[in-house]
């Protein structure tokens, strides 16, 4: 496919291919399986997978599973599912834990080369020794241990001889470095906790920067794309890659070949881009997890959640999300994208791809008194007003129909063009009806409208062109299928729920009205459909058959988005 994007990352890739620095590019997406992916991850996925695809390269999916205790195989499956749902397929699926033996051997090499040492300082002491932005740190009293002593201690750490937190392996770099990440960062810590893949094999686990850079190098990643907060980590990333020097030390990665994992290490280049931030959204897995744990929502896939699972269940489309990422573009400038931009992308996709149907969410009965008792007929409706390839469908019509309660007003406000006493309105695809009588119950509530249908205005007849101001939708009361319709709004009632400058916490901004459950009626062709089928319900918005709860005989639909941006500001 033609390469259209011109952002700085694609330019680097293009230059590297043109200069012959790389004959093919290799990227990766490295989520930690400690939660489900969110809307922000869609950007990282679209970039790393998308660029690999555009330049005929590869992209790996790597689970960054170096934090046992916080990670779960359930999340691994969810992540795989979400990446595929977004429309991407990985070249290889890897786990950082596949490389634990390599990381260990590489750490021994660093010790032998005199650039790593075992420290006995505890976490608090280490913080104190690290210094501050304006004051250099101090060397640990253990920094000058001999290679032999360090090797012996590190092997005993690995053998499980020491308690959690009592020792760490640190890179020996520079305690006066301006970049705090270079002040002898820890590269291994003791954690006697079982790992979801390696079980009890390891009492020590590598730290993020060390594991991440070496994983990239091992997989032959050429361009390692990540978000801006890692910019300060790049010197350490490069330090690890250079000091371990995997391409020239095959003995370090021989275990991978022995295990049947094809391996051809390279020197990767880290490139940072700005995060995707969206108003009304939370893009922190920790906070999303809290919404689930504290029952603010019904799970990670609750349609109110801006997880990929939630957006999917809400009816958002992969193409709509990819369109958002294209529109937002790639730069190093941090910004917040208005949630309305996302909704606009989803509408744009659904307008083109969703068939039209009729549904009534808050019903009021309308009886056409001049049609014979029990009258029924079948009308033919186009499925898409702008695309004939969608074909047509049969829509049952009968003497009694449901209309939307709010399409009738006994005392109409100014400019109301729908139905009122003595007024006329067009019933979509049927003809013009006149409201002759308003039937009320004992409490004065309107329960039924008695109308007459002007037979001259039925479609196909010469009078069909007669103008009335309003057109309303309807469903046959006789044939309609009862449905549960879940109407969603934004989960947070303020644009920046994360900003705590108003003295409130982000949880104070959860919108309790973000979900309403309605009992409505669907035309039959909207009910007998598969879960995840998406429609535009005319005049109401885009809806999706709930992927968990929908059944043809008991339909459940979620409102994805309204037809227009009606959010009250």
Binding mask 26-45 for ligand ATP (x = CB under 6 A): ----xxx-------xx-xx-
> In the bound complex, what is the minimum distance in angstroms from residue 267's beta carbon to ligand ATP?
19
Do 222 and 16 touch, CB atoms closer than 8 A?
Answer: yes
- By C-beta, is 56 or 334 nearer to ligand ATP? 334
Which of residues 53, 191, 275, 384 is near ligand ATP by CB under 6 A?
A: 275
Q: State which H helix or E strand residue 42 sits in.
A: helix 39-54
Q: Confirm whether 89 is a catalytic residue.
A: no
Closest listed residue to residue 411, CA positions, set 401, 423, 403, 402: 423
State the minimum distance, in angstroms, from the CB of residue 225 to Mg ion: 14
Shortest Å, Cβ 208 to Mg ion:
7
H-assigned helices in 86-207: 100-112, 123-130, 147-159
**Total residues belonging to the chain:** 569
For ligand ATP, the nearest residue by Cβ is 40
Q: Do residues 89 and 45 lie in contact, with contact meaning Cβ atoms separated by under 8 Å?
A: no
Q: By CB under 6 A, tell whether 233 contacts ligand ATP.
A: no
Verify binding: residue 226, ligand ATP, rule CB under 6 A.
Answer: yes
Backbone angles phi, psi at 385, to 5 degrees: -70, -25
The binding track of 32-71 with respect to Mg ion, each residue x by CB under 5 A or -, is x---------------------------------------
Residue 290 makes contact with ligand ATP by CB under 6 A? no
Residue 44 or residue 121: which is nearer to ligand ATP going by CB? Answer: 44
The beta strands (E) that lie in 489-568 are given as: 515-522, 534-537, 541-545, 556-561
Distance, in Å, from the CA atom of 144 to the CA atom of 118, rounded to the nearest integer, reads 10
| 275 is an active site residue | yes
Catalytic residue among 14, 32, 434, 539: 32
CA separation for the pair 498, 504 (Å, rounded): 10
The mark string for 117-156 relative to Mg ion (x by CB under 5 A, - otherwise) is ----------------------------------------
Residue 242 backbone dihedrals phi, psi, to 5 degrees: -70, -45
Annotated catalytic residue 348? no
User: DSSP assignment, residue 303?
Assistant: T
Walk across the sheet containing 363-368 and list its strands.
Answer: 471-472, 424-427, 431-440, 446-453, 363-368, 400-404, 474-476
Name the residue nearer to ligand ATP (CB basis): 227 or 370. 227
Nearest to Mg ion of 32, 484 (CB atom): 32
CA nearest to 246, candidates 210, 270, 205:
210
Q: How far is the CB of 418 from ligand ATP (least distance, A)?
A: 43
Please state, as a whole number, how many other Cβ atoms lie within 10 Å of the Cβ of residue 556.
18
The residues with which 495 forms a beta bridge, in sequence order, are none
Stretch that binds Mg ion, among 29-37, 155-163, 244-252, 295-303 (CB under 5 A): 29-37
Active-site residue, selected from the candidate residues 80, 143, 275, 365: 275
Binding-site partner at residue 31 among ligand ATP, Mg ion, none, CB < 5 to 8 Å by type: ligand ATP
Stretch that binds ligand ATP, among 80-88, 279-287, 306-314, 490-498 (CB under 6 A): 279-287
DSSP conformation class of 510: B
Cβ-Cβ contacts under 8 Å for 79 (sequence gap 6 or more): 31, 33, 36, 37, 61, 63
**283 in contact with ligand ATP (CB under 6 A):** yes
Q: Which stretch binds Mg ion (CB under 5 A): 25-33, 51-59, 127-135, 171-179?
A: 25-33
Of 53-61, 189-197, 275-283, 484-492, the segment contacting ligand ATP by CB under 6 A is: 275-283
Tokens 């994360």 correspond to what residue?
498
Residue 211 in the binding site for ligand ATP (CB under 6 A): no
Count of residues that interact with ligand ATP, criterion CB under 6 A: 14
| Min separation Cβ 264 and ligand ATP, Å | 22
Question: Could you tell me whether strands 277-278 and 269-273 are parallel, antiparallel, or unpaired per DSSP bridges?
Answer: unpaired
Specify the residue, 119 or 272, whose C-beta has the smaller distance to ligand ATP: 272
Q: Name the residue among 229, 318, 335 with its Cα closest to residue 39.
A: 318
Residues that bind ligand ATP (CB under 6 A): 30-32, 40-41, 43-44, 226-227, 275-276, 283-285
Catalytically active residues are 32, 275, 285
């Amino acid at each position: 496919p033609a390469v259209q994007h011109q952002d700085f990352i694609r330019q680097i890739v293009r230059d590297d291919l043109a200069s012959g620095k790389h004959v093919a590019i290799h990227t990766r997406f490295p989520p930690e399986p400690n939660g489900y992916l969110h809307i922000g991850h869609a950007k990282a996925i679209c970039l790393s997978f998308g660029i690999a695809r555009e330049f005929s390269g590869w992209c790996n999916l790597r689970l960054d599973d170096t934090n046992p205790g916080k990670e779960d195989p359930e999340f691994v499956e969810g992540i795989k599912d979400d990446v595929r749902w977004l429309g991407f397929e990985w070249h290889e699926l890897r786990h950082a834990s596949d490389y634990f033996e390599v990381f260990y051997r590489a750490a021994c090499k660093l010790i032998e080369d005199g650039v790593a040492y075992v420290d006995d300082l505890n976490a608090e002491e280490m913080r104190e020794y690290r210094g501050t932005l304006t004051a250099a740190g101090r060397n640990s009293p253990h920094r000058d241990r001999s290679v032999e002593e360090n090797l012996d201690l590190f092997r005993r750490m690995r053998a499980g001889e020491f308690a959690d937190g009592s020792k760490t392996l640190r890179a020996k770099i520079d305690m006066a470095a301006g970049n705090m990440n270079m002040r002898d960062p820890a590269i291994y810590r003791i954690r006697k906790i079982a790992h979801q893949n390696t079980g009890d094999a390891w009492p020590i686990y590598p730290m993020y920067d060390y594991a991440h850079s070496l994983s990239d190098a091992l997989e032959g990643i050429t361009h390692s794309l990540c978000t801006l907060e890692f910019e300060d980590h790049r010197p350490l990333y490069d330090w690890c890659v250079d000091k371990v020097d995997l391409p020239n030390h095959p003995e370090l990665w021989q275990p991978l070949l022995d295990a049947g994992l094809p391996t051809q290490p390279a020197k990767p280049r880290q490139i940072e881009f700005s995060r995707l931030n969206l108003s009304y959204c939370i893009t922190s897995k920790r906070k999303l997890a809290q919404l689930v744990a504290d029952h603010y929502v019904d799970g990670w896939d609750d349609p109110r959640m801006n997880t990929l699972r939630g957006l999917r269940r809400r009816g958002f489309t992969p193409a709509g999300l990819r369109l958002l990422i294209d529109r937002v573009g790639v730069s190093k400038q941090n910004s917040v994208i208005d949630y309305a931009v996302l909704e606009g992308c989803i509408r744009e996709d659904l307008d083109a791809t969703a068939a039209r149907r009729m549904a009534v969410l808050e019903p009021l009965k309308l009886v056409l008194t001049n049609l014979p008792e029990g009258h029924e007929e079948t009308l033919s409706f186009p499925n898409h007003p702008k695309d004939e390839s969608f074909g047509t469908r049969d829509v049952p019509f009968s003497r009694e129909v449901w209309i939307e309660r709010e399409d009738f007003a006994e005392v109409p406000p100014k400019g109301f063009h729908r139905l009122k006493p003595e007024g006329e309105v067009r019933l979509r695809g049927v003809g013009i009806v006149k409201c002759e009588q308003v039937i009320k119950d004992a409490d004065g509530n309107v329960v039924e409208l008695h109308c007459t249908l002007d037979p001259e205005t039925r479609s196909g007849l010469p009078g069909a062109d007669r103008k009335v101001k309003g057109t309303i939708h309807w469903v046959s009361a006789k044939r309609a299928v009862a449905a549960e319709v879940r109407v969603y709004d934004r989960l947070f009632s303020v644009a920046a729920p994360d900003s705590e400058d108003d003295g409130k916490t982000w949880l104070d901004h959860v919108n309790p009205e973000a979900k309403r459950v309605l009992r409505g009626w669907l035309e039959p062709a909207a009910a007998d459909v598969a879960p995840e089928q998406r429609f535009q319900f005319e005049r109401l918005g885009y809806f999706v058959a709930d992927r968990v709860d929908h059944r043809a005989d008991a339909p459940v639909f979620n409102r994805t988005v309204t037809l227009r941006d009606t959010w009250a500001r």
